[in-house]
Copies of this chain bind each other. A is one copy, B any other.
Amino acid sequence: MILILKNGATDDQIDHVVTRVEAMGLKSHLSRGTFRTIVGLIGDESTLNQEVLNAIPGVSQVIPVLPPYKLASREAHPESSVIDVSGVKIGGGNLGMIAGPCSVEDRDRMFRIAESVCESGANIFRGGAYKPRTSPYAFQGLGEAGLKLLREVGDKFGIPVVTEITDPRNVELVAEYADMLQVGARNMQNFVLLTEVGKTQRPVLLKRGMSATIADLLMSAEYVLSQGNPDVVLCERGIKSFDPSTRNLFDVAAVPVVQGLTHLPIIVDPSHATGRPDLIPACSLAGLAAGADGVHIEVHDCPEEAKSDGPQALLPEQYKDIAHRMQLMADLLGKTISPRPGATSRSLNPPPTEALA
């Protein structure tokens, strides 16, 4: 780290800073400028607390030079990680295509939607059994019955399933049924939940909070990694902004930013990022073009009957269309959409000369 001292820091303050730094086991390197004195710290700063340094009298600014997420950082692990979700690869050129309804609902509907998105090329099926709803009066999910249904769908269609986990007391239960555990945006800094999820061996889909910086997101991934679970897929799903045109603001630049900082894959979720089905196709393609390792889209066959988030879901036929266009984009980008394990063949390879328009 680098400490910039206050204009007018006294010699006593400078001495005190040096004493404190050396007591932490580091060497200091003083540089007296015309207006400010700067103290460079030399040694292993990985155990230092920036806050403590910032509270030393006379210190004006503390500038870290290494990222605080040691396990997640690309400096520590230069090669891109490929996460295996029960046979479906995400990262390193492999695209995860996650699709399904917001909530797990009745059995027939689940099977209908699953059949359709599997045919369209999705390789992971989603559905919420425990729903974090802003209103205590809204549908809260089917709970364990929903998990069972989801597992049944996964087994029948040979497709891994992902579902949200909201309660540290349920982690074991959910991990029994699901192939991948989702930590939702509102729980991105629920450190108790992250710690529990980090103790499982299930891959984790970690969604970016609506007011989380990218550094915050990577620190939350670090929580999971530091518990021994190396399989984290990040997800950009929109952040807060002042323009009401879209529900959230889709931060597509987060994709290359994240990929520069970490070896973990990152996918995009245009359904939650925009909240508008008419924007999902454009934003899905934009996400892939920016380098995303996958796309998460909500699909429902009768949005006006959906138990949650109906207005933002695509219809199955709309998903089929955009899935086809995403395949064309993947081909252009030299990326692979691994088939779901239960798929006997792959029928979606489009002719390379076909245009998207």
Contacts and interface: CB of A to CB of B under 8 A. Distances in A.
Interface of A: 2, 4, 7, 20, 29, 31-36, 38, 40-45, 47, 49, 51-52, 54-57, 61, 63, 65-66, 68, 75, 93, 132-139, 166-169, 186-187, 189-192, 195, 209-211, 213-216, 219-220, 222-223, 226-227, 239-246, 249-257, 260, 270, 273-274, 278-279, 282-283, 285-291, 303-306, 308-311, 313, 328-329, 331-335, 352-353, 355-357
Nearest to A302: B55
A243 B213 CA distance: 5
A288 B285 CA distance: 9
A114 to B, nearest CB: 20
A274 to B, nearest CB: 5
A16 to B, nearest CB: 9
A191 B214 contact: no
A211 B213 contact: no
B211 A303 contact: no
Given A134-B189, A250-B251, A282-B253, A242 B240 contact: yes
A32 B35 CA distance: 21
A172 B253 CA distance: 38
A239 B169 CA distance: 30
A254 B222 CA distance: 32
27 contacts: A2-B2, A34-B43, A35-B65, A36-B65, A38-B65, A52-B305, A54-B311, A93-B357, A132-B191, A134-B216, A136-B226, A137-B226, A166-B190, A168-B169, A187-B189, A210-B211, A213-B244, A215-B245, A239-B249, A241-B251, A249-B251, A252-B283, A253-B274, A260-B278, A282-B289, A285-B289, A286-B290
A2 B282 contact: no
Given A40-B33, A257-B279, A333-B357, A63 B189 contact: no
A342 to B, nearest CB: 28
B273 A253 contact: yes
A49 B303 contact: no
Contacts of A303: 55
A245 B254 contact: yes
A21 B241 CA distance: 33
A186 B102 CA distance: 23
Contacts of A2: 2, 4, 38
Contacts of A355: 331-334
A31 B291 CA distance: 37
A310 B52 contact: yes
Given A20-B304, A38-B2, A357 B329 contact: no
A6 to B, nearest CB: 10
